Structure 1
Amino acid sequence: MGHAHHHHGGHGHDHGAGSNIKVAFFLNFAFTLLEIVGGLWINSVAILSDALHDLGDSLSLGLAWYFENVAKRGRDQKYTFGYKRFSLLGAVINSVILLVGSFIILSEAIPRIWDPQEVNAPGMMAFALLGILVNGAAVLRLKKGESLNERVVRLHLMEDVLGWVAVLIGGIILYFFDLPWIDPLLSVLITLYVLYNVIRNLRETMNILLQGTPKHISAEKVEAVLKEIPEIRSVHDLHIWTLDGSYNVLTMHAVAEFQLPVQQEEELKKRIRAAMAGMDIQHVTMELERPGEACSHKGNL
């Protein structure tokens, strides 16, 4: 990463995020319109309720696309850390929409287990295959995405793929057997699975927003690595957090063993930054203190 503390833009993988989400958005939106027409033609309330769910997905994808683009802006006077956190805002809104959508589906599907509807089975199967192809293409487009936003969006689309697999299985069963409760039962199981994943994603997002230490970085290990550097006697006032789940920040005070000349101090800072880059910390802000110097921040945080 080099001296990532001078780094203004996003990561390399962020540049693809916006275009990936854009493609997924247009695929999803076009398919939603087709679904509404198809649902009315096949007389399938299941497909119409999926159209409503897809409409929610399209809104989420549009938001994700917008926030992903905002997140790529450099820092300015208003947001001195840049706009990276805006993609988190997209992830939160998406998660909330997905939660609401899941509860709508559950409220539709559960009563239908006891009161099944008559459906055009061949039309249902044809639509399900189309749904799997369209949403599957969008999932593949987002497969390599690393941003939290892309993961939440991928989850939306994965839910749709699984939903259409359920509709396809339901259509096949309905075509050969008179068991109309199979389709709503599969929908309930898939929605519960998605709910579990959304809650997990939301917890991760909340950890970032509440400035929790990134899961894969241990403050104790960071301190141990810093203390291995010969010139450092001790470390305090150490804070580790992440801007967006991939850009990690460290601030700290380090007490040097002895007073260092400016040249050596610069060298030491370079070594500290290199050591932290190895621990996936891209931005390091440090204050070097001389032995016996009183820390002005002690006890504040």
Structure 2
Amino acid sequence: MHDHPPHDDVQNIKTAFFLNLAFTIIEFIGGYYVNSVAIISDAIHDLGDSISLLSSWYFQKLSHKGRTKRYSYGYKRFSVLSAIINSTVLLIGSVFILSKTIPRLLHPEQPDTTGMIWLAVLGVLVNGAAVVKTRKGKSMNERVVSLHLMEDVLGWIAVLIGSLVMTFFDVPILDPILSILITAYILINVFKNLNASFKIILQGTPSNVNVDELKTKLLDIPEVTDIHDLHTWSMDGEYHIVTLHLVLAEEDSFVRRKEIKQHARQILEEQTIHHATIELELANECYTTIDPHR
């Protein structure tokens, strides 16, 4: 193995991390100072984002190492582990903020709306700058980070609108309502991320791979009469793997086995499969497996 020089994708995520972390600290201090649970709840969210960005930065850099003897598929699966950890942090933080926010519905307190406005404007600017830094990235990691930061921008726009309303109207209950809405939105995405992450960890079939369509196209190869033991899973939600057995009609087909495999790999690549292990066999071969559920 050899070291790779720093890449733009790593640098972009690194910049977004420091911007997000610095503003998260400002949020916690400012949210406490202006007495706004909406801002504190968003600070909890941004703390989770900072952890996500830190792990994304680390794993993006780590991903350039490629395969090792210890991890023959490389380090891609570590990003899924990171996603589970980050989602758990957000889940715990969201439950904590709800425990502090719900009582405010019964006894609302007027926040410092002027301070909220300034923090909201700063939030839109800082998160917007991070979005600009990552939105042109080519890696999936950068695109996901950019999408997450864009959600933050939209959240701060909601806080800005709410604080402007409370400046002109005496509706302090709007602050905890905004907090609950932001937290609910976060929780919905947390559960989506956890569901997708556990599906990858449990080697579920990738959502963008149509197994039936895949089988149909492979059976269109003239020499192929049957397919069995087709298994497909994903390393990280993007890098998909498949193993399968293609049954050939006659022994003469083995003369063309290289062409058959190339044809099959082309079909698999069109179906977003990045790594394939293909075994060829004849129809009259006696094939046994230790897997009773194949």
Q: TM-score scaled to structure 2, two decimals?
A: 0.86
Work out whether residues 79 and 236 of structure 2, in 8 Å CA contact, stay in contact via their aligned partners in 1.
yes
Structure 2 counterpart SS, 1:287: strand
User: What is the identity, as a one-letter code, of the residue corresponding to 2:243?
Assistant: T
Gaps of 5+ in 2: 2-6
2:15 aligned with 1:23: yes
Of stretches 229-238 and 141-150 in structure 1, the one that deviates more from structure 2 is 141-150
Q: 1:244 to 1:158 in 2, by over 3 A?
A: same
Q: 2:75 corresponds to which residue?
A: 83
Structure 1 letter corresponding to 2:69: Q
* Residue 112, structure 1, aligned to residue 114, structure 2: no
Match of 2:275 in 1: 283
Q: Is the 8 A contact 1:70 1:86 kept in 2?
A: no
CA distance in 2, matches of 1:157, 1:18: 16
Q: Is the 8 A contact 1:68 1:86 kept in 2?
A: no
Letter in 1 for 2:58: Y
Q: CA deviation at 1:172?
A: 1.4
Q: State the shift of 1:179 in Å.
A: 1.1
Aligned partners of 2:17 and 2:50 also within 8 Å:
yes
Residue in structure 1 matched with residue 65 of structure 2 by the alignment: 73
220-229 or 186-195, which deviates more: 186-195
Report the count of equivalent residues. Answer: 288
CA distance in 2, matches of 1:51, 1:255: 57
How far apart in 1 are the matches of 2:146 and 2:183?
A: 15
Q: 163, 177, 194: which is aligned to 1:171?
A: 163
Counting only pairs closer than 5 Å after superposition, residues 32-47 of structure 1 correspond to structure 2 as 32-39=24-31, 41-42=33-34, 44=36, 46-47=38-39
Identity %: 49
Deviates more, 1:154-163 or 1:61-70: 154-163
Other structure's SS at 1:237 match: strand
1:237 counterpart letter in structure 2: D
Q: Say if 1:95 and 1:151 are closer, same or farther in 2 by CA, change over 3 A.
A: farther
Letter of the 2:65 counterpart:
R
Superposition CA RMSD, Å: 2.7
Q: 1:149 to 1:187 in 2, by over 3 A?
A: farther
Instruction: Determine if the alignment matches structure 1 residue 209 to structure 2 residue 238.
Output: no
CA distance in 2, matches of 1:272, 1:251: 12
Higher deviation after alignment, 285-294 or 62-71: 62-71
CA distance in structure 2 between the partners assigned to 1:155 and 1:266 by the alignment: 42
Structure 1: which 5+ residue stretches go unaligned?
A: 1-7, 9-14
Give the Cα–Cα distance (whole angstroms) in 1 for the partners of residues 77 and 197 of structure 2.
10
How far off its partner does 1:180 sit?
A: 0.6
Q: 1:28–1:134: 8 Å Cα contact kept in structure 2? A: yes
**Mapped partners of 1:156, 1:111: distance in 2:** 29
Please give the residue correspondences for 1:131-210 in structure 2 after superposition, counting only pairs within 5 Å.
131-143=123-135, 153-154=145-146, 157-210=149-202
Instruction: Decide which moves more: 236-245 or 71-80.
Output: 71-80
TM-score (norm 1): 0.84
| 3-state SS in 2 of match to 1:288 | strand
Following superposition, the deviation at residue 193 of structure 1 comes to 2.0
Aligned mates of 1:56, 1:118 — CA distance in 2:
27
